[in-house]
């Protein structure tokens, strides 16, 4: 009997476990990242951003990475992990008014190694790991254990001292996981060195039987934070009644677009509000 059980386990391991793919966000290479996108039939499209009018938003300096001197007098820049609280405060400080208004907070999730771990429905794929920062409901400040539910999560932020092209795939893996976890709520991934590289990613519409993820690049910290703040102009669908909330959302989008040009993240959020009441099946299901 024991031999039969062992044979069953071996057959299971050969036929099931060997087919299952596991992607650890922080270890996703360029090759693995491209394979993940192929497996899920996802295409990444780069988009342009419209410059802000002169005088829009105040100047914001980049984040200063601290360094120390070793015994030989050589300068050593501290790692991201060693400065996580400093850069969390930097982000929080620059969008503080919006956070307070929307009752959100910026939280480091370095202690929750599986906060972005999820199985991809319909695929033998597991996405595993975490990110650096999350923007989500400030209710977790009173109830830290509720972080596991990611209440009202809006954005993930992956911080690198140096952003190189291969880093995109870590951010994409994290975005896909967060999008699955957040279900119908629109979310954004930001990959940044907190200085001259601010790469925004978000899931767009399906096109030609594939999911589109859009990527926008910003090089100025002040403009990057202003882009993040634009979300505050979007009311929830319930404000002023359901149809009124939708109409107001669309009107506010066009008001902003007439001044700043199309803001694709906001356009996507408006579209999500309009279609939220329509039963649909997730692409991944």
**Model pLDDT for residues 13-40, shown as the tens digit of each residue:** 444 555 789 999 999 999 999 999 999 9
For 56, 104, 108, 187, 209, the CA distances from 92, given in Å and listed in that order, are 20, 10, 11, 18, 38
CA 48, CA 281: separation in Å to the nearest integer? 30
Burial tier of 203 (Cβ tally within 10 Å: 0-12, 13-18, 19+) = buried
**Given pLDDT bands bounded at 50, 70 and 90, which one contains residue 190?**
very high
CA 240, CA 41: separation in Å to the nearest integer? 39
- What is the pLDDT averaged over residues 269-278? 53
Cα distance from N-terminal residue to C-terminal residue, the chain = 38
Greater confidence (196 vs 111) lies with 196
pTM (2 decimals)?
A: 0.75
Asked if residue 175 has pLDDT above 90, the reply is: yes
């Amino acid at each position: 009997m024991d031999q039969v059980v062992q044979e069953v386990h071996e057959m299971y391991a050969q036929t099931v476990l060997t087919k299952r793919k596991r992607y650890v966000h922080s270890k996703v290479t360029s090759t693995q990242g491209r394979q993940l996108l192929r497996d899920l039939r996802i295409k990444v499209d780069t988009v342009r951003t419209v410059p802000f009018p002169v005088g829009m938003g105040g100047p914001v300096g980049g984040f200063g990475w601290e360094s120390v001197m070793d015994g030989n007098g050589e300068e050593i820049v501290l790692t991201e992990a060693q400065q996580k609280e400093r850069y969390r405060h930097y982000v929080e400080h620059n969008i503080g008014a919006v956070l307070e208004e929307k009752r959100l907070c910026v939280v480091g999730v370095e202690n929750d190694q599986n906060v972005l771990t999820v199985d991809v429905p319909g695929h033998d794929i597991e996405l595993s790991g975490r990110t650096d920062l999350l923007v989500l409901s400030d209710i977790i400040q009173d109830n830290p254990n509720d972080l596991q539910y990611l209440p009202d999560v809006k954005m993930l932020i992956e911080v690198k001292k140096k952003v190189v092209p291969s880093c995109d795939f870590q951010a994409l893996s994290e975005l896909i996981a967060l999008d699955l976890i957040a279900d119908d709520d629109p979310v954004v991934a930001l990959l940044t060195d907190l200085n001259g590289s601010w790469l925004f990613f978000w899931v767009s519409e399906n096109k030609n039987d594939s999911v589109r993820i859009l990527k926008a690049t910003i090089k100025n910290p002040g403009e990057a934070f202003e882009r993040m703040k634009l979300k505050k102009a979007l009311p929830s669908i319930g404000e002023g009644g359901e149809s009124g909330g939708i109409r107001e959302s669309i009107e506010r989008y066009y008001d902003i677009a007439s001044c700043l040009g199309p803001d694709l993240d906001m356009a996507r959020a408006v579209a999500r509000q309009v279609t939220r009441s329509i039963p649909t099946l997730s692409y991944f299901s």
